[in-house]
Structure 1
């Protein structure tokens, strides 16, 4: 076989390799001698690069990196492998694993390097998604554990054999048993004998997948009988019941009080005068004919200030129609109604309340009056708001998290496409944050993250939003950006804020940042395109030396 045929065979073989393949001639500049079809398709290069040195094909930063890798392979005289990232011809960030194999002539001089580049983009994204999923799972687990442990209702976890596997603090308080004392024992052993049959029946129904609620009694550690309302809720995993939550509320005191009140001829009035909730009687027209003394304690108004007035007179304006409709429906359907609304107290505050309205009919089944029980749910509303805040904000910085940001950018893009009033995204991360963590430890790293969030928050306008996406990734959403200069001015303010001294307990740091700016085009703006452009701009800022910003759009 002559030399020409050998060369042809080698080229055919190399062209058939699916991975990107480059043959680099080892000379003073490392010049391209061959690249296969996969290499041209993957990088956008073509035959024009043959005979050219690396620094004529790539910009300074990538070229310097490649020179370093090739020189390492030549000097070590061994096969070397490294990972890299690059922009594909389609404009996507891709990741690769490159194997450099040095070739030697009969004098043991390295004459060529064969570079085989394997695309590992999918593997990298998969690793990233797995890590994010694990982080979210851990965060949700911690939130659930906190909700379980500190719930005001007593909660015990029971396996399908009826044995207790865990209890919360409220359960320990009611039963007087520690979690260690009851774990592994049958929960039925604490139920009074006359309720065992009912408890068995309801527990089996819950084990079949249906929540159950019942009144029962247990014996605490001191031997005292405790009256409780119990709810058995199935724990369902992969569509299979794997256990039961027992949720208990101690009603011993309430039942004792009710039993005593039932013995009184003045039942209704005694209940009303001693109730902590608001009790109101309404006539057919919605006029108040009676209010309980608890109105004074809860709302600060005397009884006389309510009687003979319409029930809606101190209800928040936006809630009045809902209350009126709810009560009318209750009367029509002959069923109680439950409604949440805001009403005014004597201090001039609107407090959240929940009412249960029960229509009462006379002996001819004509509607007579409405009994309304109302309780203050301000703390419940605050707790719900707190839960939403925790779900939507980063625990370390207090900034909105990725979930909240995704909601807001969707709204912002919809508004922009409607009004065309300008929109921009600044994608930001901390330069060399990993080095800070590795050098000074994670405690200092957390302080840097926290301080970084404070500083960028101080650089934005009232209508804008800064968020932490995770790690050292932050983002700023700018509304009403009339021109690119408005977005870049925010970036300049961020750089200015970073120049102030960073000092943590005697540890002085110099912290810089890189920023990618994406300004929304007038037509066809989507969240995906905006974020993609910001990511690309950030990549360019980092590749150009960091502590800079780049802009797209």
Structure 2
């Protein structure tokens, strides 16, 4: 238990290491020892044999270490490694100043390679493309080794008087080959070997021991050049252990060949008459050739493993999706056999996977079989993809609607055939909803097409998107020919200009009702239109619904009712009600023009005797003929009305003078002496006329009273005569009158229904 009484905490190796090394000194010490030891080995070996350095491994050994942490955190490790290099040089007797001048170039090479790899591959994993990694590593090693060799060349030439080309040549080869081998080994060790399972360690160790034995044998053989024998165990390592085997094997061969060549043994010492430096060059060339023999094989195998792993993972993901998906997934061969059927067939259709390995066209609904067979033939012939919705029988006997997607793909069996990848899902509920929606739409269309009104929708561009069939009865136009056309095109420019203001109000969100008249098929028609904005879910207007109803019959009925309300049924003249409504207007118009007004009351003399003698039918004929005669005697704009019984009235407001008014009254009286042929008898009609003539403000009641007084005077004078009274006309005010002839000379003959 810990100090707080809790349970023991698990031991973490990293935390234990941190407790042993709280200041992080272990990596610094390891870098110092590694870089210093490799530098000391290379320099001491070369100086002991008076030859150039064959293989510079110190810089490459740091690559894997530096890639594990950002450069800002890797500086302490890099500085420790450079201090190890300085210690190695100083311990061999080199000048401290010369050594310090070489340090920046050693660091430059390491930083260039590590940072180039880090920028291209921030994280190196098993899925990393090692071909790309090798390309970046080799190119950066060439650049880094070249820059480092140039710097070292300058210092060695100035300090030790070494030849320029000699210094550049030896330094570049040693650094480049060492960087490739040591850098690769460092990467493999830090990123790969620590994750190798224990079961694979011993085969790797066994194969490495074989390579070490063969390398040692060919390097100490003083008589026959057998160096090519290292290729067999190296390629075996590459084949069995891929990149890790290649890197470690190359490190063993490089160390063995460089060591043997430097100490003067091995196959390259069989060449007679050459300098030790040339033997070092041959060893370096051999090591480089060995790298370029093994590296492509290792990279190809690593890429093959990576692709195989990706394919396996992809296949696993696909199989998981297919096996656990609710959709039915199948791979169908050209003969119809199913090479794969997903287990979802059990949940979807109730059948076992084995039941679907053979074609089952019998499960397709009879009404859909021919269509689906045609789709399959088309897919086989044209390729690509297709989709279809059809009914498939469940094991229980009922049918489900299946939406199927199919694609023609090359068969993975490698027999140059094409398979169908089929995916089907249950859309029964969706199809039922769609069918219900279609049925509802059909019902709605039936209703709208038979509503006695034109129903249309107009979009924001003033184009029709829907019109019901009732428009054919109104205008004779076919709905399909209206869809897509603008309101101006369909209704014409003239009518469009009248509709445009109401349409704009509807687009602004206002519901508008208005009436208008138009002519269709040569007939004038009246319409009532209702514009209703069509709004989306957010309330934005996206169009207008138009409901247009023909109201011609209503307008005709209104006019007929108005006529019946204002017209005398027997004579066809205006009735008392209409006369009462119009008389005040006549007076106002006369006052505005300062004109005379004449109102004449006409009464049939002894009309009761006519009814009593000949009957009411003849009396009605007499009234009708008198009304027609009066209508013919007045001009346009003058008014004739039947006030009731046998009493008529004539109203004029365009009389030029009193003389003209008197002449009109006399003419009216004279021309009303008529004989009417009523069929059963000829009836002679006489009239009494009383006229009022005025030219000032006078109410309609006062005017009627004045005319009534004049009529009373005419009847008092013995009937069959006329009298008139004036008002506001100077000397004629309140008196006047004239008698008419009562003789036969004043009569006109009129037959029933015929005037002449």
Q: Which bracket does the TM-score occupy, shorter chain normalised?
A: 0.3 to 0.5
- Structure with the higher fraction of residues in helix conformation: 2
Higher Rg = 2
TM-score (norm 2): 0.35
- Structure with the higher fraction of residues in strand conformation: 1
